[in-house]
Amino acid sequence: MRVWAGRRFSVLVEGGYEIADAPDAVAIVALDAEDRFVLVRQQRIATGNKLIELPAGLIVDGEAPIQAAQRELREETGLRAGSWRELASFWSSPGLTNERVWLFEATGLEEGEPEPDEGEQLEVIRWTRDEVEARLHELVDASTLVGLLLYLRGAS
């Protein structure tokens, strides 16, 4: 039973449990021509901090996950990928929400201008594989950690 509805998610009560009913999401492990990982730094109000993350976002309007990934990569970084591969999908926090995250690899990148959503302020950064390995402790976003660790540990 839906007990509350907001702009981005609703709250359901099922079997005595409160569940955040949220749209699914995508995250993209994008590698440029120099084999650097493309990341974004953005303010996350819920954490009170700017976080370094994979390009990511919500699946909207009946999009297929790959379509959402292509749109989000373009919006957040300006990049378009020539090659896409699904790496995994996982529940973001199954004790709280029904949100599923679809993780993709994007390569063969073509540069372009970002098209961020209104109010979104993103800084695009690029780290080499060695930088990612050395700076994993700076990353606190679950989708980013899952994506990079899967990629680095052989999902590639």
- Which of 118, 120, 131, 138 is an active site residue? 118
Q: Taking the alpha carbons of 87, 93, 95, 99 in that order, is the dihedral positive or negative?
A: negative
Distance (Å, whole) CA 5 – CA 102: 24
| Three-class DSSP category at 9 | coil
- Confidence (pTM): 0.94
pLDDT tens digits for the chain (156 residues)?
A: 999 999 999 999 999 999 999 999 999 999 999 999 999 999 999 999 999 999 999 999 899 999 999 999 999 999 999 999 999 999 999 999 999 999 999 999 999 999 877 878 899 999 999 999 999 999 999 999 999 999 999 855
Q: What is the CA radius of gyration of the chain?
A: 16
Contacts of 9 (CB under 8 A, 6+ apart): 20, 21, 22, 23, 97
18: part of which helix (H) or strand (E)? strand 17-21
- For residue 118, indicate whether it is catalytic: yes
Distance (Å, whole) CA 15 – CA 3: 13
